[in-house]
Structure formats: C-alpha cells, structure tokens
Amino acid sequence: MRLIVAMTGATGAIYGIRLLEVLKEKGLETHLILSRWAEETIKMETSWTVEAVRKLAAAFYCEDDLGAALASGSFRHQGMIIVPCSMKTLASIAHGLAINLISRAADVTLKEGRKLILVPRETPLNAIHLENMLRLARLGAVILPPMPAFYHHPRSLQDLVDHLIGRILDQLDIEHGLYQRWPGAALAREEKS
C-alpha cells in the first residue's frame, strides 16, 4: 500500500508524526509533504527534529515542488491524509486552488476518486470553515477532526493520539490495535460494574 501524508502548520504535529510512525511499523510506503509552517510547528510542539520526521517516510517532498510525481494523477496511491490540516489548506482544496504540492496532490486525489482524509485543526469553527468542510465532504473527502473519545478509558495523551490514528487507519481499512473498540452499551455497562 502506498499513501501520501501531508502535514501543515496547524497545531497537532504529533498526529502526523504518530501516523508516520505507525505506517512505517506496518511496512507501508509513505510519501511525505511538509509545509514550511509544519516544520516550524514540529519544532515548537515536539521534541522531534524535522529531519527525523522526514526519515519516517519512504520519500519526502517540499511543498513548492509542483513538478513532483505526486502532482499527477498517474502517481498511483491508495489514499492521502492531511494531518494536521490548516484551514488555509482546507480552503485551497475546497476551491480548487493548487497553490502548493499539498493542495495539488489533494486535488488530484479527489479527481482520481481516491480516498482523501482531512484532519482539520481549528476551534471554534466559523461558517466559512464549516462550508468548506461541507463542500469537501460532498466531493468525497473524509473530514476527521481530532475529537477525543473516552469510551476506551484513555490514561494518557498518547492514548488519545493513538485513538485518532486508529480512526484514520480504519478509514483506510488498515488493521491495528491502537485502541479498544466500542463494545456496545450492554458490554460497557457490564465492564463498569
């Protein structure tokens, strides 16, 4: 399986990093695009170096490389994930503005009918954000905001991050054991008592 992973400058760099770690552990081929602001966010929010994040992927591309293979529909892949996804990137995709390799690769992913997963990071959301997400959802993109769940009784920040990564993997039909699935209300009550 070949996947494109893009990271923008929105907060939540750890989501993109953890996704890359898990995909590498599973032996999947990843092609990484980092925006300039994603690189800054990695430095500000994590103990990771940009170089170490790049090494998690099979291939790395700069956001300005519009001549990259990823910019063409002939580059075959099974999905693209933008995590975290800034509202600027989301808006540029929603309106067909291929301003950099991230938005161009996303545009091509939609054009070719492939899975596009966006993990938007902003709160609160204004009407423009919501309309752009609705537009993309209607075009077939999966809008997967990083909203924590608590039914699996997370004990750490890592548990919350892994839950989101598991939900992304679910969208791609990739098996994982990153979180305990919802057992159903009856079983959840039994486990509690």
Q: Are 132 and 94 in contact (CB under 8 A)?
A: yes
- When pLDDT is cut at 50, 70 and 90, the band that residue 191 belongs to is low
Residue 47, SS3 per DSSP: coil
151 known ligand binder = yes
106 known ligand binder = no
User: For the chain, what is the total number of helices (H) and then of strands (E)?
Assistant: 8, 6
The C-alpha atoms of residue 159 and residue 53 are separated, in whole angstroms, by 20
pLDDT of residue 193: 59
pLDDT of residue 132: 98
* Strand order through the sheet with 80-85: 59-62, 29-34, 2-7, 80-85, 116-120, 142-143
pLDDT of residue 184: 84
pLDDT of residue 192: 64
* Per-residue pLDDT tens digits for 127-167: 999 999 999 999 999 999 999 999 889 999 999 999 999 99
9 known ligand binder = yes
89 known ligand binder = yes
User: DSSP label at 68?
Assistant: S
86 known ligand binder = yes
pLDDT at 102 over 90: yes
**Gyration radius of the chain's alpha carbons:** 17
- When pLDDT is cut at 50, 70 and 90, the band that residue 183 belongs to is confident
Tokens coding 51: 């170089």
123 known ligand binder = no
The C-alpha atoms of residue 7 and residue 155 are separated, in whole angstroms, by 26
87 known ligand binder = yes
Give the chain's domain count: 1
11 known ligand binder = yes
104 known ligand binder = no
Question: Where in the sequence is the domain holding 148, given as residue range(s)?
Answer: 2-192
* Per-residue pLDDT tens digits for 12-42: 999 999 999 999 999 999 999 999 999 999 9
Which CATH number goes with the domain that contains 133?
3.40.50.1950
User: DSSP label at 86?
Assistant: -
Tokens coding 8: 């923008």
- Region of residue 173 (phi > 0: left; psi between -120 and 50: alpha; otherwise: beta): left
What is the value of pTM for the model shown? 0.95
Average pLDDT, the chain: 95
133 known ligand binder = no
Query: String of b and e for 115-147 (b: at least 16 CB within 10 Å)?
Result: bbbbbbbeeeeeeebeebbeebeeeebbbbebe
Alpha helix ranges (H) inside the chain: 13-25, 36-45, 50-54, 87-94, 101-111, 127-138, 157-171, 185-192
55 known ligand binder = no
